[in-house]
Amino acid sequence: MSLDDICDLLAERYEKPGEDAAVRLRQWLSGLVPHGHPEVLERHLKEEHVPLLFDAFWQVLPFGTGGRRGPVGYGSNRINESTVAMTIQGHCQYLRRLFPERTELAVVVANDVRIFNDIAGVYRFLEPDHPLIGVSSRSLGRLACEVYAGNGIAAYFKDPLSDKALLSTPELSYLIGRVGAVGGVNLSASHNFPDDNGVKVYDQYGSQPIAPEDQRLVDAVDGVTDLNTMDFDLALREGMIREVPADLLRDYVQTYVGLYDELPPPRRDMPIIYTPLCGCGISTAGDLLDRLGFAVTVPPNQGPDGTFAAIPLRSPNPEIPEATKPATAFADQESSGIVLSSDPDADRVGLEIKLADGSWYHFDGNQIATMLCYFLMMDPQGPQRRGLVIETLVTTRFLGKIVEAAGDSWLIDDLLVGFKYVGDVLKALEGEGRYKDVTCSPEQLVLAAEESHGVIVLPVVKDKDAAPACMYLSALYQRLRQEGRTLLDYYVQILEELGHYVDAERAILLLGADGVSKRIRIMEWLRESPPKTIGGQTVRKVVDHWDEEMFGPFVSETDKLPRDLIQIYTDTFVATVRPSGTEPKVKFYCQMRPSDGTRSLRGMELLRALRETADGVARVIYNELLAGIGTSLTEASLLLPDIVDLHRKQDFDRVTIGHLREALVEERFSALEDLLGWLRQEVSALIPGVDSLPAVRASVAYLCDQWARDLPSIPLLAELRNWATS
């Protein structure tokens, strides 16, 4: 089809957003957009690709929480050489305005492991090859260096001549201050699917800017019209691209080694299994554990790999229990009772512990934060530190109880969601030595934590860091094992001692332009029709952080997204709802208050009761939020992981459940292996491009239990349930 025909179809099907997409498509096809690949876009000009073109061009990829993140692809609403280069150009112009008196400016450029291979098959029509295949965080980092150099800003880049060098988020944060840089960027999409990538921007303090400073950065990026670059080899010869000093990377690890002096020496006879989930963490958490003397082993094939091939669902996220299944299987072989993990840019930490019955227990981020805080402050055999604890408003309330019980310490717990707000507190304490009513120095920091598996223990790193968490958890694991206890026993002890707190977090994944509309509608619905009940409880209070009388006027447009947050209070929990600033999700958090119903319970019975209550409330709220966009899910689909988008969960409801029931009732398969092979094909679209079968285990287990009640004995039903719960 002709370009005019395609543009007419865009306008006809999608109205004003389609007209905007047509304008951008024409611009990119003109050849005036740097790295725009017009010759490839011409191959998109077919009617069947109109939905793809609309999604690729209906907007310019938003500059969200400190940067841009999204699927790699062609167009303004994708991560590619053009959108990355223009972002870096905007950052250059922002830095020039911010430091007008400085003649020499430098930044640090980091990158993770990811490499684009179109695993989901979005661009299969362009095969056998196309220019974006093989584009990696490293190649985008090289491009960023060329743009900085072209604007007269020196770029520190690890091992510039290597195609495989990596630099993690915490190392980036640490290095910015050590080399005297005015900022930095990381080419990474954190824990996202391997087809995604992104660019995160950091300030001169090693943290991400908040409003209104981030508005100035956004304005600079949005105002870019020209691109200045310098050839990489020339920039390297002229000193505009510089090697990251190796001694500073050693210093980063040594900084944490110094904290360990007060703890017992590591034991070599208690192996620690650590997986970087195919990311950067071997040089951070891995090196730290090794240097301290722990017997640390990485599972096979889980070293750096930008396709995350060894990770189930290709989801290298410590928040997802399925991600570490191969690592726990390896730990069984190695006679280890612990698996530690970090995501691809090594800022989030994960923890799995083997129990006495041989099963493995997955800890969530709030539980990890609770154990670390208790260990650092209250454990009689721990460091017994006193000082400052920082958390966001959706992080577990346990930290406040620990600070209160420890005494002689400060708690800052009112922060908006995102670790950049922790960094802002530390910057404020460095400057005036005060944050609101708290007066102390950053050096008095004991722990800063958030629910999404992020912690820091030293102010020299102002973003999440998995390394110190791995260090302390390894030490605590070995001590408890000598005592015949596990980290889960330790956590239950804290529950019994300080209160029955439990938290649950869920996310509704809503992709594409339609997903943006649904996210907006959910938040509008909550504001226009605040619920009278939620999760089966009467609503006592609704707090909207867009309320300018309560929280002050917006200081910039960028202040609106992090404050797009509604808290709903009941007698038994607080539910907080917000759209994510980095992913196409509406996220919500349930912070359960201690109740009389669990007062008599102890041990694992207590933990199970709390977990079941919180998870049950979260599933109810999930559907109550979906009611705001006129839909709902069955209980089985609510058990699908939140990396599956809403449309595919609805398809699972409408199609897959019925097909599975029919296959069982009609006895189409005589062997479980054949049934699972069929089911693997049936659910293949849940997470495109990967084996989605592991994603349906919880749902299938639930369905088997239901069908066993209302149907006669079904062949294979018991075997299928055993597989689902294994």
Tell whether 326 is covered by a domain.
yes
Looking at the structure, do residues 506 and 477 belong to the same domain, yes or no?
Answer: no
Q: Do residues 152 and 204 share a domain? A: yes
The verdict on 180 and 132 lying in the same domain is yes
Burial class (CB in 10 A: 0-12, 13-18, 19+), 371: buried
pLDDT of residue 653: 97
Q: Which amino acid is at 694?
A: P
**Domain assignment present for 637:** no
Q: How many CB atoms lie within 10 A of CB 329?
A: 12
pTM value > 0.95: yes
**438-463: buried (b, 16+ CB within 10 Å) or exposed (e) per residue?**
eebebeebbbbbbbbbbbbbbbbbbb
Structural domain boundaries, residue 103: 59-244
Whole-angstrom distance, CA of residue 346 vs CA of residue 341: 9
148: domain CATH number? Answer: 3.40.120.10
Residue 52 inside a domain? The answer is no
Q: Are residues 492 and 510 in the same domain?
A: no
Give the pLDDT confidence score for residue 715 in this predicted structure. Answer: 85
Is 50 part of any domain?
no
Do 210 and 283 belong together in one domain?
Answer: no
**β-pair type (105-111, 184-187):** parallel
Query: What's residue 275's pLDDT?
Result: 98
Give whole-number Cα distances, 130 to 6, 24, 79, 216, in Å. Answer: 22, 21, 15, 36
| DSSP letter for each residue of 57-89 | HSSPPP--SSEEEEEB-SSTTSBSHHHHHHHHH
Beta strands in 614-668 (DSSP E): none
Single-letter code of the amino acid located at 501: Y
Q: Are 361 and 352 in contact (CB under 8 A)?
A: yes
Q: What phi and psi, each to the nearest 5 degrees, are found at residue 96? A: -65, -40
In a domain? residue 448: yes
CB 481 within 8 A of CB 394: no
Segment-wise mean pLDDT, segments of 10 residues, the chain, 726 residues: 95 95 97 95 96 96 84 97 97 97 96 97 93 97 98 98 97 97 97 96 96 93 93 98 97 96 93 98 98 98 97 96 97 98 98 97 98 98 97 97 97 94 94 83 96 96 97 98 98 96 96 92 96 96 98 95 97 96 91 85 94 96 97 98 97 97 94 97 95 97 93 88 94
Please, what is the end-to-end C-alpha distance for the chain in angstroms? 52
- CATH code (residue 611): 3.30.310
On whether the CB atoms of residues 114 and 107 are closer than 8 A, the answer is no
With respect to residue 15, please indicate whether it lies within any of the assigned structural domains.
Answer: no
Q: Which of 580, 601, 632 is the last residue of a domain?
A: 632
Q: Of 193, 423, 419, which Cα lies nearest the Cα of 312?
A: 193
The tally of domains found in the chain comes to 4
Verify that 103 and 214 share a domain, yes or no.
Answer: yes
Instruction: Give the list of residues 6+ apart from residue 54 with CB closer than 8 angstroms, or none.
Output: 10, 13, 14, 17, 18, 21, 513
Q: In the listed set 445, 467, 498, which residue is the last one of a domain according to the structure?
A: 498
Judgement on whether residues 177 and 283 belong to the same structural domain of the protein: no
CA distance 715 to 366: 41
Give the per-residue pLDDT at 65. 64
Is 638 a domain residue?
no
Q: Do both 467 and 560 map to the same domain?
A: no
Query: Do 658 and 589 share a structural domain?
Result: no
Last residue of a domain, one of 476, 498, 520: 498
Residue 54, domain member (yes or no): no
Are residue 494 and residue 507 in the same domain, yes or no?
Answer: no
Residues 677 and 547 in one domain: no
- Are residues 239 and 284 located together in one domain of the fold? no
